[in-house]
Structure 1
């Protein structure tokens, strides 16, 4: 059967796994469901997932030993031969995750850490975690602040009532996120990651969540200048890759952001961030960061990006900085820079040491560049054709128009 891409042997009273199917031939589907198969040959567990993904062994009385093998294989590869989990445990998984299909519930069971005996305690722990999280979130939702976190003025009843409604909505969102019901993160290659997005203002701190939402890879929240803390929330998302916050009142970069090893995007806009020596040093240690945006914050000191070696995009618009970020010109991957509307006067000659070309969307306008710096920017424009959105480079020091040399086209042979 080497040429067959789809094989259907469902409900055919097979008692043994057909050895002829354990080959290196890649097939779209091999349906062996609804039979009397008890054992899968050991050699099946040596096959690539490209091959085993096609199998459907549901509705077969697979032995405990075989289920153990499938569980170990699934934890190693993510594939489960389409086998069924024990019905009682699968039903408990579906109760926790109502949107899961039967196949997804089976897969979840086999992916649980440990052997078969460890599965039920793991499910019980999840049940307890979810109930405790709901209890904690309900307490947070009704505990609305009595005073404004910034102005320290008493909040009227209408404001507190609205804040409680917003907190209840955020509570429900977190519960949905735990149940894996929020929007998927389509940019994540795992295919099982989710996004947490919310645009209603919360007064005070976001909740401290004593649960692990390892499947949440993106958090995108917008406030109204009244949300003062996010560390308690960030502790529950250890695999977060993108943190996007705007219009918060954070005071500094959340310390928990530095404990997210997979973080590649950090966007904290208009959130009253003032860098300290400690946070600036920690920021330089985010070695996997590719995108950094701290625009609209009174940073107080210029970010140090010397060791953020994978950084591709850097946005520091309207941050009050007065110098180029240290190490910026040594970043091999840097392509987009926005330092507009700041107080920078000096553009060093290191501009010409950039490892790659900057994109035309870069913006260095709105800075009081010195005559020497304008000359450097002008030379960069003449060499690359990129004016970095600084209009003054189109004229020389005497106000005469600057013309880029025209590169002659090669003559036809």
Structure 2
């Protein structure tokens, strides 16, 4: 500033005045009055990409699920990108539109989105325009759903306190915010397969949903992990799930569903199904639909009055089965032919008879089997005692003379 006040016209002239003659001349400026030429030289230099500059600044990598504490409008986490990181509108207006709709995606992720668009510019523009309209409609739908939060108790019909009403609105607004972020691909990345072509995004909400699900018309096929918590009977869950056909994991806790949502049966990529405490009773139709989920690896239906024993015979990759307290009276023999099983929880059911095939099954099945608190018949208990004496595997069944059996086993081994 002192140099500017003493003759230099601007910062660039001041820099040239401040440099020793040798250094100024080495830069190609023989006279200190060439500030405008230095300015043009600087402007002609392209900005380096942020990723390249950050390596020299030793800045930490920003996580994909980073949430800005500033709470900027519509989930934006920073100022628009500048320089070499920003989409070049003069080169590709399609890329600029993609960036506007999905501002959190990096250059590579934007490229993946663009590669999924139609090859012609007109059709690509139509797709982006449709998604933009879809997002705007989603915001409107969620705002309406938020403001229409019930002011009465769904069971008693009594008016809620002002604080309870405010809490319901806040819960709905939080869900709306996450749903909008998920649509714009701003939530955490579901990196299960470590393959961008197969992996998608997560939508997880820990707050409790009640009364009804929002009516939406947006496509969430890019979401592969959905986890929600409910309370009581909630309407509209099947219609809501229809917009998530690409799920790998579906987790609904404490929803009073009464039956399996039909939308689940169309999720052909589903590998994990967690629906504990959801008051689900199987019908012949829903049991058949469940049996068709051939890619399942993990199923949790704990604390549901299923009534019908599921058929697992078409699930070769099934690893974990949780059917605790599901009112099953028949042992699921279709599990015995599967080769990947590690955990089978059938505790606290109504099973009285164990099939003979169980005692011929591989040890990896019986050692991972939990049959605690089932009213087994004396014949089945006797088979378990004999099996335990031979294998030391009790399937978590409490045997009255277990100590005596162990002593017999020890005595026989000593002889």
Q: TM above 0.5, one fold?
A: yes
Matching of residue 156 in structure 1 with residue 163 in structure 2: no
> Which consecutive aligned stretches of 4+ in structure 1 deviate over 6 angstroms post-superposition?
405-408
> 1:84–1:390: structure 2 CA closer, same or farther, 3 Å change rule?
farther
Cα distance between partner residues in 2 of 1:339 and 1:194: 33
Matching of residue 239 in structure 1 with residue 251 in structure 2: no
Point out where structure 1 has 5 or more consecutive residues left out of the alignment. 1-33, 35-82, 409-413
Q: Which residue of 2 aligns with 1:186?
A: 191
Matching of residue 344 in structure 1 with residue 351 in structure 2: yes
Alignment of 1:10-409 (within 5 A): 86-149=91-154, 151=155, 153-158=157-162, 159-191=164-196, 192-354=199-361, 357-358=364-365, 360-392=367-399, 395=402, 400-401=405-406, 403-404=408-409
Cα distance between partner residues in 2 of 1:402 and 1:112: 71
Contact 2:233 2:257 in 1 (8 A): no
Over aligned residue pairs, what C-alpha RMSD do you find? Answer: 2.7
Point out the structure with the larger helix share: 2
> 1:284–1:405: structure 2 CA closer, same or farther, 3 Å change rule?
farther
Cα distance between partner residues in 1 of 2:112 and 2:297: 33
Cα distance between partner residues in 1 of 2:278 and 2:158: 22
User: In the TM superposition, what is the alpha-carbon distance from 1:226 to its structure 2 partner?
Assistant: 4.8
User: In the TM superposition, what is the alpha-carbon distance from 1:89 to its structure 2 partner?
Assistant: 2.3
User: In the TM superposition, what is the alpha-carbon distance from 1:306 to its structure 2 partner?
Assistant: 3.3
Cα distance between partner residues in 1 of 2:372 and 2:407: 18
C-alpha offsets along residues 127-180 of structure 1, whole Å, 9 cap, x if unaligned? 11111111122222222235544x252341433332221111111111111111
Structure showing greater radius of gyration is 2
Cα distance between partner residues in 1 of 2:112 and 2:284: 47
TM-score scaled by length of structure 2: 0.71
Contact 2:347 2:370 in 1 (8 A): yes
User: In the TM superposition, what is the alpha-carbon distance from 1:268 to its structure 2 partner?
Assistant: 0.4
C-alpha offsets along residues 46-73 of structure 1, whole Å, 9 cap, x if unaligned? xxxxxxxxxxxxxxxxxxxxxxxxxxxx
Contact 1:381 1:393 in 2 (8 A): no
Cα distance between partner residues in 1 of 2:159 and 2:233: 12
TM-score scaled by length of structure 1: 0.71
User: In the TM superposition, what is the alpha-carbon distance from 1:261 to its structure 2 partner?
Assistant: 0.9
SS in 2 for 1:282: helix
C-alpha offsets along residues 279-332 of structure 1, whole Å, 9 cap, x if unaligned? 112112222212111001122332233333432211110112222125222333
Aligned residue pairs total 324
Point out where structure 2 has 5 or more consecutive residues left out of the alignment. 1-45, 47-86
